Amino acid sequence: MSQTLPWKTAWVTGASTGIGREIVLQLASAGVKVAASARSPDKLAALGHGILAIPLDVTDAGACRVAADRVEAEIGPIDLVVLGAGTYAPVAIDHLDPQLFAHTMSTNYMGVVNCLAAVAPRMMARGQGQISWIASVAGFMGLPKAAAYGPTKAALINLAECLEPEMKLKGVRISVINPGFVATPLTAQNDFEMPFLMQPDEAARRSIAGLAAGRFEIAYPRRFVAILRALRALPYPIFFRLITRFVLKAR
């Protein structure tokens, strides 16, 4: 990256694939000391030398505290946290599996909360730092097949809104990243057209640029975000009619 970034150290979760992996590589290439976490030690090792690999299951709150302690012990006080660990599986309405919903919430939402609880107190004590997490434009509205995934992302957006005013008074910035469709192993499960599909390296570049600018929300691609926001503003009868016609391909 050509820009000078404002962080000396960063911790990224969900770092083995997709946007998280690319954020790790781009931060490291810009001279930031990076710690990378994910469940797969092999995939973390593949990130290369110079990156601190810390295997982690974010659903384990105690393990998140231990990981944060290790990051600060080995590379120094954390300036930036990017919480990107997540999971997704499409929901079939003829087989609503409570375990799928519970697993998705535990990983996507509580995984962020667990890491947040591990890093926020030390940042507030220092009076500085930036914490971000990857939500999704799927959190803007309810969409077919996203009944397990979408609510977790809506919760993450709401969480960021809840915390930003108070955390800012303590010197800690909160940012929420809302990508559209990005080509990752998770979205590869989709059997429908994904408009404005982006590659992970471009998504990471836009995420880092928005974080460096100190923006609260980083949402992309802009045209897709604008379409979704306009759709969300419609009255429900029109909204559901359009979703049925264009997403479900039914009348």
Query: What is the tens place of the pLDDT at every residue in 212-240?
Result: 999 999 999 999 999 999 999 999 999 99
What are the chain's domains? 9-247 (3.40.50.720)
CB 119 within 8 A of CB 129: yes
Which of 111, 115, 206, 207 has the alpha carbon at shortest distance from 152? 111
Angle of CA points 93, 99, 100, to nearest 5°: 55
> 154 in the Ramachandran plot: left (φ > 0), alpha (ψ -120 to 50) or beta?
alpha
Is 245 exposed, middle or buried, given 0-12, 13-18 or 19+ CB atoms closer than 10 A? exposed
CB 37 within 8 A of CB 12: yes
Neighbours of 31 (CB within 10 A): 12
d(CA 199, CA 158): 26
Confidence of residue 184 (pLDDT cuts 50, 70, 90): confident
Residue 149 a catalytic site member = yes
The residue assigned the tokens 């997403």 is 247
Residue 249 has a pLDDT of 80
Phi, psi dihedrals of residue 143, rounded to the nearest 5°: -130, 150
d(CA 150, CA 197): 18
d(CA 158, CA 160): 5
Query: What is the tens place of the pLDDT at every residue in 56-112?
Result: 999 999 999 999 999 999 999 999 999 999 999 999 899 899 999 999 999 999 999
> Looking at 109, 149, 220, 236, which residue is catalytic?
149
CB 81 within 8 A of CB 24: no
- Indicate if the pLDDT at residue 188 is higher than 90: no
d(CA 224, CA 230): 10
Beta bridge partner(s), residue 13: 37, 83
Confidence of residue 251 (pLDDT cuts 50, 70, 90): low
The pTM score is 0.94
Q: How much is the average pLDDT of 120-137?
A: 98
The residue assigned the tokens 């970034």 is 5
DSSP 4: P
Query: What is the tens place of the pLDDT at every residue in 162-174?
Result: 999 999 999 999 9
Residue 213 has a pLDDT of 97
- Indicate if the pLDDT at residue 193 is higher than 90: no
Q: For the chain, percent helix, then strand, then coil, each to nearest 5?
A: 50, 15, 35
